[in-house]
Amino acid sequence: MDKILEGLVSSSHPLPLKRVIVRRVVESAETPLSQAQCRAMFALSTRLVLQGPDPFQRQVGRQVLEAYGRYHRAEFEAFFNRGLVLGLLQRGYGELSNRDPAILDYIQAGLRLIMSCPSVLELFELLQVEALRLVCERPAPPLCARLCQLLGDFPQCLPRGRKLSLAFCQQLVRSIAHFQSQGNREAELRLYVSQVTQVSGLLQSVWKAEPDTLLPSLQELFAVISAADTSFEPSVALASLVQHIPLQMITVLIRSLTTDPNVKDASMTQALCRMIDWLSWPLAQHVETWVIALLKGLAAVQKFTILIDVTLLKIELVFNRLWFPLVRPGALAVLSHMLLSFQHSPEAFHLIVPHVVGLVHSFKRDGLPSSTAFLMQLTELIHCMMYHYSGFPELYEPILEAVKDMPKPTEEKIKMILSQSAWTSQSSSLPSCLSRLSGKSETGKTGLINLGNTCYMNSVIQALFMATDFRRHVLSLNLNGCNSLMRKLQHLFAFLAHTQREAYAPRIFFEASRPPWFTPRSQQDCSEYLRFLLDRLHEEERTLKALSSAKTAESLVNEESQAQESVHKAQVFAEAACMGSEERTLIEKMFGGKLKTTICCLNCKSMSQKEEVFTDLSLAFCPPTSLENVGPKCVERSEVKDDCMVQINASATSLAGETPLNSLEVNGGCDTMNEGTIKDFSTEPNSESTTNSELHKVQDNTDVSQRLVGKNTLSVTDLLNYFLAPEILSGDNKYYCEKCASLQNAEKTMQIIEEPEYLILTLLRFSYDPKCHIRRKILDNVSLPLVLELPVKRATSPLAVVSGGWSVGVEISDIGENLAKKLKPSGADEVTCPQLVPYTLSSVVVHSGVSSESGHYYSYARNVTGSGPSGLCHQSTALSLVSPQDKLLTEESPCTVVENELDTEMPREWFLFNDSRVTFTSFQSVQKITSRFPKDTAYVLFYKRQNSTCGFNTNSANGLWVNGDPPLQKDLMDAITKDNKLYLQHCQLHVPCAPRNSPSCSCFFSCCYKKALFSTFQCGLL
């Protein structure tokens, strides 16, 4: 029969005839045959299967072998023995190599036929050994896939015993690392991917059956991808293993890798780079999850050098993966994390900028819903990066043009994304032996380090920084080559906005801005510092503008004679100084307002008027009884002695002549302090230094403070009303009227005729008590409205006024005048109704303590730009502040209005700046601070004008900075980038390591791993 069959298959008869004859040969397998005949048929069919020259002969061999083996099982068992199988696996068959997959096909077919025979057990033992030998020889993908298919169908052939099983898994991992595709055509690539999937599927089965093999396999995987051998590049097919690792093991595995002292930085860098290469594998799942987890783990242990190197090396490769739909989701996730966390330098972002426009256009041409969704995610990412690294319009303009029709994230969303993504924002979930990161807080804001009782400066700087329009103006100035105080402020603002540090040390700015009379390392008055700072910035800018104008004018007269040149120079400088004084400085534009003071003689009704510029209004505390009947304040020198309670800053302000830079502030009289509520401050958590003597002095006057028990809480509205109320000059304080040529009773009124962009209000809480010869603090609680309306009476016609000079602060009255308690209606005011200008509360500087020479300052603030109808607040709840003669008191109490405002407050809008510490807070905390901590009182308030038309033009540079700060100058950006790198390197060098005598990370990992893996399999997650 074997001779007939052999002649038939090799004959030239038609194929259909051959098939008919072969069918009859197969059917004859049921007839009894001798052992020799069976052996001949098995040998012929084996030769046809393994060496058949065409598919027909190989098919005939398989059919005959299966049929005769089934009906003559004993004979086939004797033929298909250990010697045959071993010879096939080690020597092959004739010219057929032992590494041909057909050998394994034949063995698998033979095993199916003898599964019920006792000899199969011997073959299983043989195959267990041979399978391990085969994988150690690094089989090609086809042979390895065929071996894994055989082992999957016959798991009895898998190496048994922990040692052999571990070795098999580890060697199979290394075999996958050597895989390479045999072609580049689609069919060849699909076949290659299916072969790799077959191999990785077998490993998954082994890990599931024997969980103890997973850890050594992963260790072997890491050893392969972390090897520094440049002659061998592991295959990206290793990515197929990632999807079979339980996601529940991420924390344990990443912790083991990042904390193992035996893992060198070079090895970790190599491993991470190769894991990122795995994003190219089309069917790999969860690769991006593991890559991002490892990036976060390295950030948590402050391995910033690795993160920087890997990001710069692989960012373009990751971006290029976005072109391929199969791997696009994972690539976009990794790209977003790498860019958003790389916040110390624009270098990584700028590597992909040239490729963005082309990818955007490609997504748009696709028109597919998936492409549109990815385009929206990519657009949001790009906007975040352009916001963070402003200052490169030539790079960003093409991108903005390409994505102009895509939705743009809000500034709040961008800031939230950036603050949560930075390396220094990654929270560490490592063992307690590792410290938490000292990066920025969750607010994304930077604190200021206290340099020794410098909280008065820190609180003021943070309030100015949070004045958004002012900050943007400062950052937009071109001050290259200038060593001015404004340049130092710009430097400080830039670092507060872009540093990776948790807190910044403003040493250079402190030394440059500290008033000469301030003793170093001692507490000072923050309002005094603020006035000095604004005055310095104002005068400095005026001087620089005058010098610049003088140089320009001087260049026009170079051809004049030498004799006339010196005279002309003097004239040029004088004219330039005048021109400079007429042009408004930045401080005037942001904080400058105008106040008109009018004195009307009550005898002849003649008036004297003066306009003066102010940057802040100092508000004295008024007796509550004076608010019940609003009218003029009577000041009689006969009632009060000259040495009454006076808060002194500098010299007096007169109605005629030059106004000094620092003006005098007069308190509301002796009764004001005496009636102020003095509270018990036995516990104060925020005080820097409060002496026992001061506390004793406050307690001695507690009986005086009881007069206001039960009185309503004052509000900023009350204090402003009192400030604007007219006062009568009489008695020893009579006014000298030039028309009457004698001292006459007169009425003095003050009106705001030009409102500032930022209204700064200082509450005069520190007063000198002549009885006790000490400066006391008025501890009354003051209600703060979120929105107020300031009455502004604009001049309708030119007034004959005596022009005053620049005044940093405007006081309530002149020197020697005291606020009297006799009130009566005024008949000298204009009848025109003032325009009500709405303002929104921006910042509050709080003083904690009982004395200006001690205590502590901190500030509450929020971002208010003044854009839109009401900024961040609701105008419908505004408090009306109008002059007394225009019914300035509202019927609704400030407290009620504030409660209404609290309902509309945006969450996480307010920040608390307390030196190095910055936290989220709420307006309720601002309002209730004094009730909770009696010594903590609002001192300096910043209000931002709503509906502003002179704020910073954020539409500059063709709309590049609509939501963000203006672009920084190159030298500033370079300085910040350099400092961020130094900070990250410092963090990495000083990260604490686990003790050398502690258990090894491998042991620690094994324990955690086994517990977690056991629970994973218990839940059937694998």
* pLDDT at residue 806, as a whole number: 44
* pLDDT at residue 765, as a whole number: 87
- Which one-letter DSSP state was computed for residue 301? T
Options 38, 148, 384, 455, the catalytic residue: 455
Which residue has better confidence, 518 or 949? 518
Cα–Cα distance, 480 to 487 (Å, whole number): 8
pLDDT digits (tens, 9 = 90+) for 975-990: 888 888 888 777 766 5
CB atoms within 10 A of CB 454: 26
- What residues pair up with 618 in beta bridges, in sequence order? 762
Cα–Cα distance, 464 to 526 (Å, whole number): 13
pLDDT band for position 1016 (cuts 50, 70, 90) = very low
**Element at 193 (helix H, strand E):** helix 186-209
The strand pair at 746-754 and 727-730 is best described as antiparallel
Which residue has better confidence, 665 or 461? 461
Options 856, 873, 987, 1001, the catalytic residue: 856
Q: Where are the alpha helices (DSSP H) in 804-849?
A: none
Averaged pLDDT for residues 250-261: 84
Our answer to whether residue 604 is catalytic in this structure is: no
pLDDT averaged over every residue in the chain: 76
Cα–Cα distance, 260 to 254 (Å, whole number): 10
Our answer to whether residue 600 is catalytic in this structure is: no
Cα–Cα distance, 880 to 43 (Å, whole number): 108
Residue with tokens 């002149």: 814
Handedness of CA 206, 208, 211, 215 (dihedral sign): positive
Helix axes 411-421, 328-341, angle to 10 degrees: 90
**Element at 351 (helix H, strand E):** helix 347-366
Q: Which of 11-25, 135-149, 267-281, 426-440 has the lowest mean pLDDT?
A: 426-440
Which residue has better confidence, 774 or 847? 847
pTM, rounded to two decimals: 0.58
Q: Which of 368-382, 575-589, 990-1004 has the lowest mean pLDDT?
A: 990-1004
Averaged pLDDT for residues 651-668: 35
Averaged pLDDT for residues 35-49: 88
pLDDT band for position 563 (cuts 50, 70, 90) = very low
* pLDDT at residue 257, as a whole number: 83
pLDDT band for position 958 (cuts 50, 70, 90) = very low
* pLDDT at residue 800, as a whole number: 36
727, pLDDT greater than 50: yes
Helix axes 970-989, 485-498, angle to 10 degrees: 50
Q: Which of 453-462, 532-541, 545-554, 677-686 has the lowest mean pLDDT?
A: 677-686
196, pLDDT greater than 90: yes
3-state secondary structure of 599: strand
Q: Which of 63-67, 321-325, 993-997 has the lowest mean pLDDT?
A: 993-997
Averaged pLDDT for residues 914-929: 88
